[in-house]
Chains A and B, each alone.
Chain A
Amino acid sequence: MKREELKVYSYLRHKKKFPNMWCAGCGIGIVMHAIIRAVDRLGLDKDEVAMISGIGCTGRMPVYVDFNTMHTTHGRALAFATGLKIARPEMKVIVIMGDGDALAIGGNHFIHAARRNIGLTAIVVNNSVYGMTGGQYSPTTPTGGLTTTGPYGNIEQPFPICDLARAAGAAFVARSTVYHATELDRFIGQAIQKKGFSVVEAVSYCHTTYGRLNKLGTPVDMMRYLKENSVRVQDLAECALKEQEGKIVRGVLVDRDIPEYTELYNQVIERARAA
């Protein structure tokens, strides 16, 4: 198939921005493709889609896709997106973040966007490390993992992103991995359609920094790890407890109907005008 015939082609800013800046073997491109497949399957008009990011490897994604795109400051993507969504509630606003962006510097915005249940689709590409700056420990680095700022092993606990989103009030929470690419685009599609704040954790890896420091092998090895060490949430019951330990649980973990922020605010306008 010629590249022009690929569906993804019409969603990319192919004339301008390619080749992309991600390392060969990186999982972020797989997430980008999954988002495009989800948008395409939902039949969304590119004009009504906005993609907002912060800073980091994942933060570079918007420049490659032909939507309304904004590459904001580190950690602030959700706050920018909140303003955009309130000004243009009819738009589908996808916020793409890395784990450091979403949960360290942007952690406060993450929990408050969830608490507000504002209609944003937050996709967190979790590669458990700061990749762009060269492999420092992030809020999702496994305890004991080696990083350039934790050369004797990480002594902190990783954030469970999905549990955090659930507790903070998100309407929809799902997790998949970059190995399970079609599952990922299915979850992203559901997340975009969900009214309210939705979170998809896309578990990825960084072979260039974390993989190298921890001797985890090639991108293929790290991909194989995601395949062999993850389990679908509906299969959990069948696994022996021992087997569940350390497994990445994939699936739709939260799906609940809560009033969405911009819809509630329209009621505020009605009340204010009636008064």
Chain B
Amino acid sequence: MTVKLMQGNEACAEGAIAAGCRFFAGYPITPATEIAEILARRLPQVGGKFIQMEDEIASISAVLGASVGGAKAMTATSGPGFSLMQENIGYAAMAEIPCVIVDVQRAGPSTGLPTAPSQGDVMQSRWGTHGDHPIIVLSPSSVAETFHLTIQAFNFSEKYRTPVILLMDEVIAHMREKVELPSAGMVEVTERIGTDVPPEWYFPYDETSSDVPPMVSFGQGYRYHITGLMHDRAGFPTLRLDEINPWLTRVFRKIERGLGEIVMTEEEWTKGARTVVVAYGCTVRSARHAVKMARDRRHKVGLVKLLTIWPFAEEVIERVAHTARRVIVPELNLGQLALEVERVAGRHKVRRVNRADGEMLTPQQILAAIEEK
């Protein structure tokens, strides 16, 4: 183990390499560019490949092509580029191609406030592409967490054959903190499920006991078809209802069955708390400070940190909201994840604390909401 002072974007790049990422395609955009710069230098050192594409659409496309070729693949961008990638994020969900998309959020909409912090892409990360699809979105609140969640993003993406979005923000991306880097071999790395059946028995979208079909790379002797059209178990386009509905059910079920490990949260002082603050990303830092100040003033306040944003941590929020009188949701947007908290906790219990002007939420703003009668 080594201890290093690192920037969030650097931790993301190093986490990717530790997870086995060997392909990166991207396009420069602040505040995500350092990830590309670091991987351009680091990937060839470990035999990986880096390419700067002509735009973000090309970047996500190349990532999916490389993943089909067998490489663990990633791209990194910010809001405007993330918007451009949405169509092919849907393709990844439809064709069940593992990939990691890092979105270092900045204040929008449009070019917005380059490049002030924001958490404005929470709903875009869930519903940015068209059509119903499952998605996994993780959000780190420290540099160390960025390292570990990047590895986790790859592991989930390979295990569940799904796109995973690492939703960072400018604060975490550009902040420098101490990170304890595990030595090589000490990182738990998940590989995609392969197969040893003969090619004529292989179905890339088969119903399997885990609901995640094995994935074979192109060029391995298993010639098959991949399409963004609704497809049968062999990957060929279909319009048959008895093939469409099982596919839809399975891709949602494969994620639902993993909820136990996918939905990651951490709680501090939530037992017996009358007020609970639910936060994610950089906002956790102000929230924790505010909760500590409130506890010093003898308020019964707890904190729920969401490391996984999507799928939403319904069970945890339901439990804490059941005993708490009030749930406070601070966000650097005008209320996005608050909608989910309200859905689960009930609208009357939820207080939103919002700001979308490019400045951080201060602990005092959150404390004021805690102390509000």
Contact = CB atoms under 8 A, between A and B. Distances in A.
A265 interface: yes
B49 A16 contact: no
Interface in A65-104: 66-73, 76, 79-88, 90-91
Interface string B37-72: 000010011010101011101110111111111110
Interface stretch (A31-39, A45-53, A177-185, A232-240): A45-53
Interface in A238-275: 265, 268-269, 271-273, 275
Contacts, number: 142
Interface string A49-69: 010100000000011001111
A112 B71 contact: no
B25 interface: yes
A218 interface: no
A185 B15 CA distance: 47
A45 B55 CA distance: 34
Contacts of A275: 45
A72 B91 contact: yes
A17 interface: yes
Contacts of B23: 83, 86-87
B64 A109 contact: no
B226 A82 contact: no
Given A83-B62, A108-B58, A73 B227 contact: no
Contact of A87 (B41, B66, B226, B227): B66
B223 A86 contact: no
B87 A73 contact: yes
A76 B88 contact: yes
A86 B219 contact: no
B217 interface: yes
Nearest to B58: A79
A274 B364 CA distance: 52
Given A84-B68, A272-B41, A79 B223 contact: no
Interface string A18-35: 000000000000000000
Contact of A88 (B61, B70, B226, B234): B70
A47 B220 contact: yes
A17 B219 CA distance: 22
B228 interface: yes
A72 B61 contact: yes
Interface residues of B, number: 44
Contacts of B217: 87-88
Given A71-B225, A72-B61, A87-B49, A269 B88 contact: no
A143 B142 CA distance: 58
Contacts of A68: 218-219, 223-224
Contacts of B234: 16
B69 A80 contact: no
A265 B49 contact: yes
Contact of A50 (B57, B64, B219, B229): B219
B58 A82 contact: yes
B58 A112 contact: yes
A83 B66 contact: yes
Given A88-B217, A112-B58, A63 B227 contact: yes
A217 to B, nearest CB: 32
Nearest to A267: B44
A274 to B, nearest CB: 10
B25 A46 contact: no
B93 to A, nearest CB: 12
Contact of A83 (B57, B64, B87): B64
A46 B223 contact: yes
Interface string B233-246: 01011000000000
Contacts of A88: 69-70, 217-219
Contacts of A273: 44-45, 47
18 contacts: A16-B236, A47-B220, A48-B219, A50-B219, A70-B225, A72-B228, A73-B228, A76-B88, A79-B57, A80-B61, A83-B73, A86-B23, A87-B65, A87-B71, A88-B69, A108-B54, A269-B47, A272-B45
Interface of B: 23, 25, 41, 44-45, 47, 49, 51, 53-55, 57-59, 61-71, 73, 87-88, 91, 217-221, 223-229, 234, 236-237
